[in-house]
Structure 1
């Protein structure tokens, strides 16, 4: 088994533009995934507005509902229509591509450049791979049925291993 990368795919019945909005704007990514997302333009002074599309070179700070830490990184690519890439977990690259196929959009998530030490195998490869399986399902539920599956009301912060055991965090 290779631990350096993984790919997740899902078909979602939605408009390509709506799916890009879900990944490519602060308002979109917080509608189904995060508690807060802040993007700062490349020059470091301008904070993107909620409905502004992110751009390559932007820096981000993401906050989850059930985790006190934050994820920070850089937008590596954002073409405004069907592809976005971020640095992720400090060392990885996360690439999102979307492709219209009849009434559906195929979303492909690829995370690579994962270190292969034991801690990274558990927390990045296993943890992120499982996590993205849930989050892509949550995105599908949100776009196709208007519901969210992630836990936002029960505080799981003090539950040991919550991020590896709960399926909806």
Structure 2
């Protein structure tokens, strides 16, 4: 068994879909806002905004906004192979998504790594993001396999100080 460490974590889930379908859901504005984000903007290295259905490319920058959170996250697309692998800068770390298809079922492996080892990063990135990604990957599976979303979009939780640590569907 691998040793659990503060500087990284892995989350995995099988989803009954092709890797092509799942790649589109991760690698386009149209896809990622259908199950995960309120808004996503991708810019190519020349500063041109990508079309909502256009696949992200290495060197792009992004800005993401969530439902029920006033802030945004900006970062860079570090790798995107147009098939089964994406890597981005995220928070003060990196996130990769790898898709391994086997007979119409795809193993989605998300890895967040290079997490700083200070106490705030252990709480907010390792603990917070690990919990968050667990939910969002389950939300992706529910969306793809059953056509439903589990995240809260109707009740405004932004004024509840600890909502991000207490609600399981943010």
Same fold (TM over 0.5): yes
- Aligned partners of 2:49 and 2:161: how far apart in 1? 35
Paired residue for 1:15, among 14, 18, 30?
18
**1:140 and 2:144 correspond:** no
Structure-2-length-normalised TM-score: 0.97
- Aligned partners of 1:95 and 1:15: how far apart in 2? 18
**How many residues are matched?**
167
SS at the partner of 1:125? helix
**1:26 and 2:38 correspond:** no
Structure-1-length-normalised TM-score: 0.97
**1:40 and 2:43 correspond:** yes
- Provide the alpha-carbon RMSD of the alignment: 0.7
Partner of 2:129: 128
- Aligned partners of 1:78 and 1:5: how far apart in 2? 20
- Aligned partners of 1:131 and 1:7: how far apart in 2? 12
Paired residue for 1:54, among 39, 53, 56?
56
SS at the partner of 2:77? strand
Partner of 1:5: 8
TM superposition outliers: structure 1 runs of 4+ over 2 Å? none
Question: Post-superposition shift, 1:160?
Answer: 1.4
SS at the partner of 1:134? helix
Q: Any unmatched runs of 5+ in structure 2?
A: none
Q: Any unmatched runs of 5+ in structure 1?
A: none
